[in-house]
Structure 1
């Protein structure tokens, strides 16, 4: 679905497993040992598929275009746009075509990603997905270890404009109305408490910062606040997936949905995607954001977040 400067459909994320692509196609397609579950439409949106190989550093995206024909595009690495924990890719066919940004991350085959076009002529596309290799392996519950923590870095992409550092140079004299936008990103920290004894979780995104070029906003439009986000408590399904509601930190506003998957031995990692709208306080723009996380379990071999030192695991 194309949004009025308001998603990319599902991503098929590929790990570097020697014999090729273990997951491709639509959100529910699986092949080999990769599991994604049925990724909710609100998170998947416009993209048909994409595949990511962290070993070769390649990303292939299918279906982000102006019509319903599924065209495959190999995105280019954009290291200048990398953020902690996530690698960036971009795509643009020519200077006056829409520009797309993607962020992906993989922890031992547990992976997730988002793609968002910057917007042009009042519309944009965006979305995300997650997957893992192998079957669900839950954290082992003991009398001393039922509740665990996952923490790390977060990145999101919005329908608001950033600077045009990755936009191809347009011909001299091009009217500004024709120049495509580059999606403004949000960075922050993310934290989940997960209770495997009753299969529930909740969490938050905090320390959020928006990389915005105010000069490219509509006249009179200003971002006033980049609020912290909270994830309503939800349950973990038998396949290790989860889905729930998102709200502002004041607890009164339902602003979107989040979902994801646990992967690795004893759920050493969790991955997920969020879609939010009308959550950045502006005067006129209907703000949308797709965000992604791939996190190691505190106390486990893939823990990297400094805050993990302050929790038991």
Structure 2
């Protein structure tokens, strides 16, 4: 995985340049380790380095397995960190000591408890980072019929460096070249339409923002993909001008597909003026017309 330049440094350089941006930022992407496909069938491209995430909604800790450099897994217990919550999701963090990687995990469970999803990323160290998503269908699943909608919020993590308020303090004089970074959170809204007659899915992630900077970033669109008999799906992601910028995948849950969860990987040039940006994100949504659905569902007939 690749590590993007600090967003605050980017803004400073752009301001100094005046007209245009002659700089090239970041490093060439190098995969850290191909992971094993999760039980939910989420493709490797969206799963990234996350082997598994195990949690009980609202619990003080969660268990995360990240694929490591030696083809094994790093299994760690993350602690609740409400300071990094985003709407509809709970945050957890892990950092063993001040000079180790700092990981953020953001998780959610659907109102019907039929769907769980998590996004995990460290902020990068030594020019690389680990990151990925986990989506789990819980209990019995059966499809709905016809066209149905789902809505809610989005939670993502970006390799653009956050200011680092949640990092453990390091001794004065520590070489900046060896310091770990904190990932920036991304928030947004998700609206999905699923057609269980034709078994297709599409949607959009809008009102996207880099949380630590309060900076708006482009909306992205989930291009129509196929829904399999077990409720799994996958497809590509585009900007509004139809430029491809990534992939999405996930699974429906519950009797009558009352919920849906998905993972997103954005790895194209989707933020103007930034190079090598990459983002993993998740959505956990209730079907419109079911308990816990989003306010926007009021406009769905």
Separation in structure 1 between the aligned mates of residue 34 and residue 165 of structure 2, nearest angstrom: 27
How has the CA–CA distance of structure 1 residues 8 and 79 changed in structure 2, closer, same or farther, with 3 Å as cutoff?
A: farther
Matched, 1:231 2:255: no
Distance 1:76 1:64, change over 3 A: farther
Q: Is 1:272–2:262 an aligned residue pair? A: yes
User: 1:306 matched to which residue of 2?
Assistant: 295
| Contact kept in structure 1, 2:246 and 2:268, CA below 8 Å | no
* Preserved CA contact (<8 Å) 2:53 2:118: no
Contact kept, 8 Å, 1:162 with 1:211, in 2: the verdict is no
Structure 2 residue 124 is matched with structure 1 residue 119: yes
Contact 1:278 1:288 in 2 (8 A): yes
Per-residue deviation, 1:27:
3.2
SS in 2 for 1:181: coil
CA distance in 2, matches of 1:9, 1:47: 10
Aligned residues: 274
Q: CA 1:285–1:185 in structure 2 vs 1: closer, same or farther (change >3 Å)?
A: same
What SS does structure 2 have at the residue aligned with 1:43?
A: helix
Q: CA deviation at 1:151?
A: 0.4
Query: How far apart in 2 are the matches of 1:52 and 1:188?
Result: 23
Instruction: Tell me the CA shift for residue 250 of structure 1.
Output: 1.5
Aligned to 2:84: 81
| Unmatched segments (≥5 aa) in structure 2 | 5-28
The answer for the alignment partner of 1:158 in structure 2 is 158
> RMSD of the TM alignment (CA)?
2.3
What's the offset of the Cα at 1:249?
1.2
TM-score norm. by structure 2 comes to: 0.84
1:284 & 1:53 partners in 2: Cα distance? 37
TM-score normalised by L of structure 1: 0.81
Query: Residue 8 of structure 1 contacts residue 115 of structure 1 at CA under 8 Å; is this kept in 2?
Result: no
**Structure 2: distance between partners of 1:153 and 1:279:** 23
Whole-angstrom CA distance in 1 between matches of 2:187 and 2:101: 23
Distance (whole Å) between structure 2 residues aligned to residue 243 and residue 301 of structure 1 = 26
Equivalent position of 2:169 in the other structure? 169
Among 37, 42, 59, the residue aligned to 1:27: 37
Cα distance in 2 between the residues matched to 1:127 and 1:44:
5
Counterpart Cα distance in 2 of 1:291 and 1:41: 14
Q: Which stretches in structure 1 are left out of the alignment for 5+ residues? A: 12-25, 30-35, 215-222
Q: Tell which deviates more after alignment, 170-179 or 105-114.
A: 170-179
Note the C-alpha offset of 1:238.
0.7
Give, in whole Å, the separation in 1 of the partners of 2:82 and 2:58. 15
Matched with 1:285 is 275
Q: Secondary structure at the match of 2:186?
A: strand
CA distance in 2 between counterparts of 1:284 and 1:149 reads: 34
Structure 2 vs 1, CA of residues 126 and 232 (structure 1 numbering), >3 Å: closer, same or farther?
same
Matched residue, 1:131 = 136
Going from structure 1 to structure 2, the CA distance change for 1:274 and 1:10 (only over 3 Å counts) comes to: farther
Q: Which stretch shifts more, 53-62 or 114-123? A: 53-62
Which string of whole-angstrom CA distances, capped at 9 and with x for unpartnered residues, describes residues 151-198 of structure 1?
Answer: 000011111011211100111122322221100111010100111222
SS class of match (1:63): strand
Does the aligned pair in 2 maintain the 1:43–1:257 contact within 8 Å? yes
